[in-house]
């Protein structure tokens, strides 16, 4: 996390999970960054990250993704996968961040 902060990255997780479920996951996993609840997937939709019908009972959920946004909120780097177990490595994110000014 220190290396992320050194280059100006402030991680945030966003999901359709309830705030309670998000808090429980964050605490159990030991994550130290914010988890935000987007129950209606409004933010998720705005970034075209909806995985339609992939949740419990056919609920729309977020696609597995990592995004880097610059200080103006413009998306500068995206890593999308179809498998939520497959994520960008921290070294990949740090390398991408170094290309953003």
Mean pLDDT score of the chain: 89
pLDDT, average across residues 43-69: 88
CATH of the domain at 53: 3.40.30.10
Residues with Cβ < 8 Å from 64, sequence gap 6 or more?
80, 81, 82, 83, 84, 86, 87
Q: Quote the pLDDT of residue 101.
A: 65
- 24-37 pLDDT tens trace: 999 999 999 999 99
CA-based radius of gyration for the chain: 14
Whole domain around residue 44: which residue ranges? 2-98
pLDDT, average across residues 36-61: 88
Structural domain count, the chain: 1
- Asked whether the beta carbons of 68 and 9 are under 8 A apart, the reply is yes
User: Where are any strands of DSSP class E within 8-62?
Assistant: 13-15, 35-37, 50-51, 61-62
3-state SS assignment for residue 25 = helix
Higher-confidence position of 78 and 81: 78
């Amino acid at each position: 996390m220190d290396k992320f902060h050194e280059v100006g990255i402030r991680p945030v997780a966003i999901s359709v999970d309830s705030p309670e479920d998000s808090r429980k996951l964050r605490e159990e996993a030991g994550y130290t960054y914010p988890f935000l609840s987007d129950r209606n997937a409004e933010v998720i939709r705005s970034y075209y990250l909806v995985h339609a019908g992939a949740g419990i009972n056919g609920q729309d959920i977020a696609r597995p993704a990592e995004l880097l946004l610059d200080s103006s909120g413009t998306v500068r780097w995206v890593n999308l996968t179809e498998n939520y177990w497959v994520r960008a490595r921290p070294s990949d994110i740090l390398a991408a961040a170094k290309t953003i000014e």
